[in-house]
Amino acid sequence: MGEAVNTLVDGLVISDQSGFFNVEIAGGQVITCRLRGRLMEEARSSDIATIGDRVKIQLLDDGTGTIEDVLPRTSVLSRAVRTEGRRGEGSPEREQVIIANADQALFVFAAAQPAPNFKMLDRFLVAGEKSDIGRLVIVVNKIDLLDEQAAHELFATYEKIGYQVLYTSAREKIGVDALRDLLKNRLSVFTGPSGVGKTSLLNVIQPGLGRVVKEVSKRRAEGIHTTRDSVLVKLDMGGYLADTPGMRQLALWDIEPEELDGYFVEIAPLVSQCRFNDCSHFDEPGCAVNEAVERGEIAESRYLSYLDLRIELENAYAIS
């Protein structure tokens, strides 16, 4: 890289690939940057800079830049990944930040074809609650394949516990205006399992958007560091959409087994009512959570998701 040419400039990280960061600055100009030495050392244990980060960069005379500082984050969506090389400082897992400073996360599932995977949805919601992202939205696509009442009944549990659920059909253009309004001028995570119609929804929101996102993903898949590469796609109406490949295999990060109940919004208020302070909500006597499940106040499907995730975390901590 060349010599510094002027003072620090504010920017937004819009892509992160193999140690190179594309940073958008005022006027829409994109500068390819590397981390300065001090930050590169810190990046061994976690991702110091990633998409969504607000940074200060030093412009260099060759048209590139260096990231000199990363501003404090308002939200951090992360997953656990196995360490590679010098990363992680000897720990078996390290934090991979999928996106920083997202305003909202939209989790897209189909009403049918494929049938919704609620355990995956619950995993996404736990990660979202942990991240401090301000708004978590469940987008139910393909509602044209069911009658409206059946689609609402499928996701009634989530509406009951306070999550916003948006019902859409890319084919029939149902709910598209509401979805567009949600995305406008916001930095959004937009993810979900394959086959739920994300690309079709994106194309209806903005012509060609789904193709752009797919092409970005395809270019990444042809590279080496496919799990680390993340991109923000700029929306014509304002705002950015995060293409987040790491969400497909989301291993929860920095949640200890005994903390998990705090990220299930309907379970958290009952924890203090359990007889034992360290209640795991499996089969302890005087467990307020179990009693609520028996009364039908907590959906059995959500409770079973909690148990599965708790066992997964206990096994992960036992190994580490």
CATH number at residue 295: 1.10.40.50
Per-residue confidence (pLDDT) for residue 87, from 0 to 100: 44
Report residue 80's pLDDT band, with 50, 70 and 90 as the boundaries: confident
**Among the three residues 195, 220, 249, which one is the final residue of a domain in this structure?**
249
Q: Are residues 155 and 201 in the same domain?
A: yes
Answer yes or no: is pLDDT of 225 > 50. Answer: no
Q: Are residues 50 and 150 in the same domain?
A: no
* Cα–Cα distance, 215 to 100 (Å, whole number): 23
Query: Would you call the peptide bond into 114 cis, given omega within 30 degrees of 0 as the criterion?
Result: yes
Per-residue confidence (pLDDT) for residue 35, from 0 to 100: 93
Q: Are residues 151 and 184 in the same domain?
A: yes
Per-residue confidence (pLDDT) for residue 229, from 0 to 100: 59
Q: Are residues 124 and 241 in the same domain?
A: yes
Answer yes or no: is pLDDT of 36 > 70. Answer: yes
Per-residue confidence (pLDDT) for residue 12, from 0 to 100: 98
pLDDT digits (tens, 9 = 90+) for 118-137: 999 999 999 999 999 999 99
Q: Are residues 103 and 223 in the same domain?
A: yes
Per-residue confidence (pLDDT) for residue 62, from 0 to 100: 92
pLDDT digits (tens, 9 = 90+) for 103-121: 999 999 999 999 999 999 9
What residues are paired with 76 via a beta bridge?
Answer: 100
Q: Are residues 169 and 303 in the same domain?
A: no
Mean pLDDT, residues 184-199 = 94
Per-residue confidence (pLDDT) for residue 227, from 0 to 100: 43
Backbone angles phi, psi at 293, to 5 degrees: -65, -45
Q: Are residues 161 and 57 in the same domain?
A: no
Q: What is the CA radius of gyration of the chain?
A: 21
Residues of the domain holding 107: 96-249
Q: Are residues 100 and 179 in the same domain?
A: yes
Residue type, 92: P
Answer yes or no: is pLDDT of 214 > 90. Answer: no
* Cα–Cα distance, 138 to 140 (Å, whole number): 6
* Cα–Cα distance, 273 to 279 (Å, whole number): 10
CA distances from 134 to 131, 232, 302, 311 (A): 9, 18, 22, 28
Tokens of 157: 């549990």
**Within a domain: residue 124?**
yes
pTM of the model: 0.90
**Within a domain: residue 79?**
no
From the list 249, 34, 18, 262, the residue with the least C-alpha distance to 126 is 262
Report residue 318's pLDDT band, with 50, 70 and 90 as the boundaries: confident
Per-residue confidence (pLDDT) for residue 47, from 0 to 100: 83
Instruction: Tally the domains of the chain.
Output: 3
What percentage of the chain reaches a pLDDT higher than 90?
72
Per-residue confidence (pLDDT) for residue 90, from 0 to 100: 45
**Among the three residues 227, 249, 271, which one is the final residue of a domain in this structure?**
249
**Within a domain: residue 78?**
no
**Within a domain: residue 223?**
yes
Q: For the ranges 26-35, 54-63, 188-197, 245-254, which has the lowest average pLDDT?
A: 245-254
Tokens of 222: 């042809």
Q: Are residues 222 and 303 in the same domain?
A: no
Per-residue confidence (pLDDT) for residue 223, from 0 to 100: 47
Answer yes or no: is pLDDT of 224 > 80. Answer: no
